[in-house]
Structure 1
Amino acid sequence: MSSERTGGGAAASAAVLPSPASNKELYLLGISFCVLWSSAFIAAKFGLTAAPPLAQLTIRFLFAGALLWAGMIVMGKKWPVARRDVVTGITLGVLNNSAYLGLFFIAMQTITAGMAALIAALTPLATVFLAQPLLGERVSRRSLLGVALGLAGAGIVLRDRVGTGIDDPTGIALGFIAMLCLTSGTILYRKRGSHTDPFVMNTIQTIASGLVLIPFSLLMEDWGTIQFNATFFMAVAYLAIMVSVIALLIWFRMIRIAGASRASAFHFLNPGLGMLFAFLILGEPVSAIDLVGLLPIVIGIILVTWVPGGGKKV
């Protein structure tokens, strides 16, 4: 991975996007990320049967942070020397983990895992419009069309589910706030953190997010209600290892090689995968409208993420 600094203003952040040769890696990483990210909503649902949401997240992040720290020691990695990089990592922990997942886990007490995945899939819309003024990333009409199609598909599903009363409006509102936190974290990483070793950056943000959640969890929840059973340990282990470690390393790599706009477009795939997993594992309903809404979503992802053979910017 290149160590070239990318976050020094519009000129630095408007670097040429990857060539078509990177499409294969991006799609492989993107699909892998979406499978792990979507499955997290299912594991979280299981975990919520054994522990309050913030307590589950706190234990998960502290466990994942310990694993990452141990990995740093084994691989001989060092903490960042620049204070700015440490502050960036801590801020990413608050945005990407504490706020984003904390709000989502609270919301998932009243909304389905499929709806949670759908709201998270709207991240590209906010990211594309913020990436242009804040990062200097050029957004073509083709990319905007892709975002519009993805949003339309998500809207079809959202309208159907809200209209039938499957999901609670308050939970949906919390989910939207959480989505905006993830969008902010994506922009911040591209602007100020992509030059740093992603493993080290993930370690900082994971430990920070666990520490930040401790007081909130202790004040708002009763840790005496935690059931330390097989469901709890399996959920925490899966979320910590497969999502907080592996999925987030993949995510940082995607942003680094493709830019915030293109990487975020893969979130549009999460509603379909999230609903599929929720249907197969949790028995949550999937309607014909849900399936119809997935078609423009898939087309939108292709339009936003594919680099043409001419090597143009998107």
Structure 2
Amino acid sequence: MSERATDTRWLQAMPWVFVLIWSTGFIVARYGMPYAPPMKFLAVRYALSILCFLPWIWWAGVRWPGDRRQTLHLAVTGVLMHAAYLGGVWAAVKAGMGSGLSALVVGIQPVLTAVWLSSVGGQAVSRRQWTGLLLGFAGLVLVVSRKFGSGGPGDQANWLNLSFALLALLAITAGTLYQKRFVKPCDVRTANTVQLAAALLVTLPLALLEAEPMQWNAELAGAMAWSVLGLTLGGSSLLYLLIQRGAAASVASLMYLVPPCTALIAWLLFGEPITVVTVAGIALTAFGVSLVVRVPKPVG
């Protein structure tokens, strides 16, 4: 097999690998939260990630954003897409929400983003987009109604954890829209470092208010290591390569697979039940998201 053919196959596989890595983010939250409060875990994660990025930036000779306004925009996206989004997901899981349900709630984000961009871009929201939005929320309501107040330990919905998850959904949606509007293209390593520093500044005071200590053990250390190396460094680097090689659209078209992938992993690791209602709700939501993010085929 030629080197070019191998590179092509790897490029085709990269979006699938990215989606799998993205799915594990919700699993890590469930894996580490029994041993740490959410804000303390995230503060340590941000600090360790920054310490990993700094030597990488120095070794690669990457330039920092020279524009103060650009740095400020990156800081805002860091607060939204790291501090608020991850804080909401981690807090929801800490409050008893399962990994699969948290992924399902946040999985509506591509739909909200697409509908908003269409509405403010002078274009009418298409019938396909409205259909996807309604199907996505219908699937979410179906699963939430089944788990609300009646799920097992670590896999139930209540007003508290649902509020945290919805906060995460709004934060990642707002952060994505803000980044599209204000952030100019720049190196992902320096951009991530600025974002993580802003997230750390916001998260650290909240972490200091948490009375629960971190109970360091193999499970918590493993969750932290994967959060830093696998999710922050590995996932960000993979997304960077996808964008550079023009495959970002492939990632968007596969994002509807994150909730079912997360639900399957959560069932294997934590025994989170996959009932007929859960499958139907996830299928409805996945189909709704796929309608919105699917890239239209060129005509002619």
CA distance in 1, matches of 2:243, 2:174: 13
Q: How does 1:74-93 map to 2 (within 5 A)?
A: 74-93=59-78
Aligned 8 A contact 2:108 2:289 in 1: no
Q: How does 1:150-169 map to 2 (within 5 A)?
A: 150-162=136-148, 164-165=150-151, 166-169=156-159
CA distance in 1, matches of 2:39, 2:277: 33
Q: How does 1:224-303 map to 2 (within 5 A)?
A: 225-250=213-238, 266-303=254-291
> Can you list the C-alpha shifts for 1:170-209, whole angstroms capped at 9, x where unaligned?
1111110111001011111111225222232112112321
CA distance in 2, matches of 1:174, 1:253: 32
Aligned 8 A contact 2:111 2:292 in 1: no
Identity of aligned pairs, percent?
Answer: 28
Aligned 8 A contact 1:269 1:301 in 2: no
Within the alignment, does 1:39 sit opposite 2:24 as a pair? yes
Give the gaps of 5 or more residues in structure 1. Answer: 1-23
- 1:49 alignment partner, SS class: helix
Match for 1:126 among 112, 124, 138? 112
Distance change (3 Å), C-alpha of 1:49 and 1:137 = farther
- Using the TM superposition, name which of 248-257 and 273-282 deviates more: 248-257
Within the alignment, does 1:193 sit opposite 2:169 as a pair? no
Match for 2:87 among 102, 106, 110? 102
Cross-structure match for 1:149: 135
- Report how far residue 94 of structure 1 moved: 0.6
Query: Number of matched residues?
Result: 286
Q: How does 1:45-64 map to 2 (within 5 A)?
A: 45-64=30-49
- TM-score normalised according to structure 2 size: 0.83
Aligned 8 A contact 2:49 2:233 in 1: yes
Cross-structure match for 1:18: none
CA distance in 2, matches of 1:162, 1:56: 27
- TM-score normalised according to structure 1 size: 0.79
User: 1:307 is aligned with what amino acid?
Assistant: V
Cross-structure match for 1:12: none
Match for 1:181 among 148, 161, 171? 171
User: What's the RMSD between the two structures over aligned residues?
Assistant: 3.0
CA distance in 1, matches of 2:121, 2:196: 24
Distance change (3 Å), C-alpha of 1:95 and 1:29 = farther
Within the alignment, does 1:111 sit opposite 2:97 as a pair? yes
CA distance in 2, matches of 1:138, 1:267: 24
- Report how far residue 73 of structure 1 moved: 1.1
Give the gaps of 5 or more residues in structure 2. Answer: 1-8
Distance change (3 Å), C-alpha of 1:31 and 1:92 = same
- Using the TM superposition, name which of 54-63 and 268-277 deviates more: 268-277
> Can you list the C-alpha shifts for 1:30-53, whole angstroms capped at 9, x where unaligned?
433332222112212221122211
> Can you list the C-alpha shifts for 1:194-244, whole angstroms capped at 9, x where unaligned?
52222321121123212321111012334xx22222222111110112112
